[in-house]
Each structure stands twice: as structure tokens, then as C-alpha cells.
Amino acid sequence: MTRLFQRHTRIAVRRVQRKKSPFIYKSYSKKPKHRLLRKRKAQEQRFRRTGLAAIVLASLFLVSLIWNIVASGYSAFTQVQVRIPVTYEQGLIEKEAYRTIIQKSLTELFPNVENRSEKRALFGLISRNAPYILQKEVQNNPSLVGERHEVWLPVSSQISIFYKQELYRQGERGGSVSPTEAAWITALAQSKRMRLSFNAAFFTNGDSREAERAGILASTAGSLLTIIVCVLMAFPLGVATAIYLEEFAPKNWFTDFVEININNLAAVPSIIFGLLGLAVYLNMFGLPRSSSLVGGMVLALLILPVIVIATRNALQAVPRSIRFAAAALGATPTQVVFHHTLIYALPGIMTGVILSIARAFGETAPLLMIGMVAFVVDVPKIFTDPATTLPVQVYLWSNNPELGFVEKTAAAIMVLLAFMALINLLAIYIRQRFEIKW
């Protein structure tokens, strides 16, 4: 029996060596006869099956999550528009009565509507923000005054949901549209006055309480400003700390103490950093509330320990022989670090930094305390402007009662995920391209 067992093992080993296949158990071509061997093989297969099941389950969750988001969000990238004949009457434009202009052209399209409440419903077809679109057009192009043009304007959120539902998802809930409104839309659609166009407003507008106008520009700009501040603060501080601790600091109880604390800080819940930011940055230093400056500084605290740990690991991975060789050639310890060790460790450091930026990018909890969970319409331009971030925008939209925000929320999540994927790809690229294997 023992010999048989040895033979089997030998065959297995040889096959593995030949094929370099990780699937060792496949090489047991015949069912092993030995009881213990059978038992071990069964164990092996059990483990593999469990592992496979875990992966399948995890991917199922992921796929259903992404499917869910995409299915409810993809329609947000299109906007329903209606074409109406607009007369830019001079008198009305001087009074800035753009709403009246639109109401006039709607009455022109549907002259039979006379009842007051029906008129209200008719005027409600067009987005509440349409007058400001006309106003902007006239400001950009004053020669329009007195002319008559066909203009595409966005419809209101309810109508948009109804129209998209007819197009994309029959049978799903479509909000509350009265039969009269439905008849109007059908009439408009038949006379080719309805269209679905790319929703540029979603990328060029700030937040809005009208779903058809709400966009992610303000929150994306806020996110970028916040991340810039965060990196400017966390990167130099974190790397400097790590270099000192790894290369220069003496090993004593104090550095041990610092090290333990840094490792602990990496595991502290993020809301704590928000409280710290509120107490120190806002109350002590008097920095402006809701600004990306404070947001970035709070997120910098959050990712600082992660950067320190990643940098130390990267520095440790550089072989001692490099340091000795540099020192042997007469380099001072500082020169050894900055001319050699740090350079070789840089790809590793960058990977760590980029991954921690991805973490900072997705944070909302610490921002709540410092007032960045806010309704921000204007796009922030400098670091002290009131700002919000992309994940916060997702959170705020998900709380809105209007149905139109359901697709916006999902679309904002898609953009957020795309940013995350980009950041992670960058990290992978840097690791593949520059990493040095010793």
C-alpha cells in the first residue's frame, strides 16, 4: 500500500512539474484506492468547491448590484425635450417675463385649453427652469430679440418619467400623469415635437431641486478640489513621517508608541476625523464651513496613517544592499534615502497613495460634521468656496421625495464608480509599469 501511495505521489509530482498546472488533483487520473488518500482528495475537492462557490456568490452580488444601478440609472443620461415655437417679444424680454413667453407658445400649440386648472397643468409640461434657459440664450445672442424660432426645451420631471417609461420600461411605475397630460404628450409626440437627447445638463449643472436640471458638475468640482487639498497635505506629511520612522528614527519605546498609534489610527471610524476637523479646523482655526479646504484637510487626516504604512512597506522592500552600496560610495544617510531608497520605493508609495485617495474620494461621513453635506448649486472655483462631493450628492439625491431623482441617484453612482475604476486602473498601471522586483 505504501508503495502504491508513493507511486501515485510520484506521478502527480511529475505531471505537475511537466504541466506547471495548479490543478494538482486532476493528475489523480484513477480513483485512489487508499482510504486515507481518498479522504485527502475529498478534502481537497471540498475546499475547492467551497472556494468556487464563494467566488460565484460574490460575483453574483456584484453583478446584481451593478445591474440594479445601471438598469435604473442609464435613462438619466438622456433628457426628454419638447419643441415649441418661441416668439422672442421685445416687450416681454425687457420685463424678463420668459415664463410668459413659454406660456404663450404653449397656448398657441393647444388653443383649446381654457380652463384655469388645465392651463396650469399645460404650463407644467415644461420644466420650471426652462425660462432661465431662454434667458441665457437671449443674453448670449441678443439678436434673437423680435425673432421667432422653434426651441427644444426640457420637459418637467413627471412628464419625463412618463415618456421614458413608455420608451424603455413598459409596465413599471410611471409617477402620476393625468389622462389629459398623457393625451397632450401623445399629440406632441405624433407631431414630432418630442425627442430624447443626450442629457448634457447632467454634466454641466450643479445641484437642483428640479430633477431634470440637477447635475453633478458642482459636486465633481468639489470632489476634485477636496482631493487636491487632501493630497497636498497628506502626501508630503505622510511620506516624510514614514521616511523618518523607517530610515532615521532610533528604535526605542517612543517610536514604538508612535508606530502603534499610527496603526491604530488607520482603523479609526471616519466620522471621528470629522469631529476632529470640526473642533480643530472650524472652531479653533476659524476656517470656512462647508469649504473643500476643510474637507480636504479632514480627509488628509483620514488617509495619513494609510499613506505612512504603505510608504514604510515600500521602503522596507528596498534591499539593504542598495543602501550599503550607496553608503560605501560616500553618500550621507540623507543622500542614500533621497537619491536611492526613495526613488526605488516610489512606485510602491504611489500605489498606496492612489488607493488611499480612492478611499478619500468615496467618504461622506467625516464631511457631514464640517458642513459639506449641503445643497450647493454654484460650482466651487476656489478652495474656500462652499462645496460638496460626489458621494454626498448621491446621498442627498437619494433622500429627495421626487421620483425623478431615482434615476439621477443611480446615474451619479455610475459616475462615482467610473471614477473609482479609473483611480484603481491608474494604481494598477503604475504598479505594473514601474515596480521593481528584487
Partner 1 sequence: MRKTLLSFTAFTALAFPVCAQAGEQIQIVGSSTVYPFVTVAAEEFGNSTGFKTPIIESTGTGGGFKLFCAGIDEASPDMSNASREIKQSERDMCAENGVKDITEIKIGFDGIVLANSKEAERYHLSKTQIFKALAKKVPVNGALADNPYQSWNEIDPSLPNDKIEVYGPPTTSGTRDAFVELVMEPSCKDLPEFVEAFPDKKVRGKTCHLLREDGAYIESGENDNLIVQKLQSNPRALGIFGYSFLEENMDIVQGSIVEGKEPTFGNISDGSYGVSRSLYVYLKDGHIGKTPGLVEFATELVSDEAAGEFGYLAEKGLIPLPAEELATVQGRVNALVESAAE
| Residue 202 sits in the site that holds partner 1 (CB under 8 A) | no
Sequence-ordered list of residues with C-beta below 8 angstroms from that of 242, at least 6 positions apart, any chain: 307, 308, 309, 311, 312, 315
Over its C-alpha atoms, the chain yields an Rg (Å, rounded) of 31
Find the binder of partner 1 among 103, 313, 316, 384 (CB under 8 A). Answer: 384
User: 380 and 210 in contact (C-beta within 8 Å)?
Assistant: no
Cα distance between residue 325 and residue 220, in whole Å: 47
| Residue 289 sits in the site that holds partner 1 (CB under 8 A) | yes
Cα distance between residue 162 and residue 403, in whole Å: 11
| Residue 396 sits in the site that holds partner 1 (CB under 8 A) | yes
Rounded to 5°, the CA angle 199-203-209 comes to: 80
Task: Locate all alpha helices (DSSP H) within 141-213, ordered by sequence.
Answer: 157-167, 179-190, 201-204
| Residue 47 sits in the site that holds partner 1 (CB under 8 A) | no
| Residue 398 sits in the site that holds partner 1 (CB under 8 A) | yes
User: 131 and 92 in contact (C-beta within 8 Å)?
Assistant: no
| Residue 360 sits in the site that holds partner 1 (CB under 8 A) | no
| Residue 279 sits in the site that holds partner 1 (CB under 8 A) | no
| Residue 276 sits in the site that holds partner 1 (CB under 8 A) | no
Scanning 9-17, 43-51, 73-81, 380-388 for contacts with partner 1 by CB under 8 A, the matching segment is 380-388
Scanning 56-64, 219-227, 316-324, 402-410 for contacts with partner 1 by CB under 8 A, the matching segment is 402-410
- Long-range contacts of the stretch 419-428 (C-beta < 8 A, 24+): 419/223, 419/361, 419/390, 420/358, 420/361, 420/362, 423/354, 423/355, 423/357, 423/358, 423/361, 424/354, 424/355, 424/358, 426/354, 427/350, 427/351, 427/354, 427/355, 427/358
| Residue 290 sits in the site that holds partner 1 (CB under 8 A) | yes
| Residue whose CB is less far from partner 1, 154 or 371 | 371
| Residue 378 sits in the site that holds partner 1 (CB under 8 A) | yes
Q: How far is the CB of 221 from partner 1 (least distance, A)?
A: 15
Find the binder of partner 1 among 169, 173, 339, 381 (CB under 8 A). Answer: 173
| Residue 166 sits in the site that holds partner 1 (CB under 8 A) | no
User: 210 and 157 in contact (C-beta within 8 Å)?
Assistant: yes
| Residue whose CB is less far from partner 1, 389 or 419 | 389
Cα distance between residue 59 and residue 416, in whole Å: 20
Burial status of residue 235 (CB atoms within 10 A of its CB: 0-12, 13-18, 19 or more): buried
Residues in binding contact with partner 1, number by CB under 8 A = 48
Q: How far is the CB of 324 from partner 1 (least distance, A)?
A: 21
Cα distance between residue 155 and residue 152, in whole Å: 9
Say how many C-beta atoms besides its own lie within 10 A of residue 195's C-beta.
14
User: 249 and 255 in contact (C-beta within 8 Å)?
Assistant: yes
| Residue 334 sits in the site that holds partner 1 (CB under 8 A) | yes
Contacts with partner 1, 220-239, as mask; x by CB under 8 A: ---------x--xx--xx-x
| Residue 402 sits in the site that holds partner 1 (CB under 8 A) | yes
388 backbone φψ class: left, alpha, beta (φ>0; ψ -120 to 50): beta
169 backbone φψ class: left, alpha, beta (φ>0; ψ -120 to 50): beta
Scanning 21-29, 46-54, 310-318, 379-387 for contacts with partner 1 by CB under 8 A, the matching segment is 379-387
| Residue 374 sits in the site that holds partner 1 (CB under 8 A) | yes
| Residue 73 sits in the site that holds partner 1 (CB under 8 A) | no
| Residue 255 sits in the site that holds partner 1 (CB under 8 A) | no
Scanning 26-34, 53-61, 260-268, 367-375 for contacts with partner 1 by CB under 8 A, the matching segment is 367-375
Q: How far is the CB of 88 from partner 1 (least distance, A)?
A: 19
Grid cell 399645460 is found at: 122
Closest CA to 110 of 187, 201, 216, 25: 187
| Residue whose CB is less far from partner 1, 371 or 419 | 371
Find the binder of partner 1 among 305, 371, 413, 419 (CB under 8 A). Answer: 371
| Residue whose CB is less far from partner 1, 221 or 229 | 229
Q: How far is the CB of 393 from partner 1 (least distance, A)?
A: 13
3-state secondary structure of 57: helix
| Residue whose CB is less far from partner 1, 243 or 299 | 243
| Helix or strand (DSSP H, E) at 321 | helix 320-328
| Residue 383 sits in the site that holds partner 1 (CB under 8 A) | yes
| Residue whose CB is less far from partner 1, 184 or 281 | 281
Grid cell 445672442 is found at: 141
User: 153 and 127 in contact (C-beta within 8 Å)?
Assistant: yes
Find the binder of partner 1 among 47, 132, 254, 429 (CB under 8 A). Answer: 132
Q: Which residue ranges make up the site for partner 1 (CB under 8 A)?
A: 120, 128-129, 132, 173-176, 208-210, 229, 232-233, 236-237, 239-240, 243, 282, 285-290, 293, 334, 338, 371, 373-378, 382-384, 386, 396, 398-403, 406
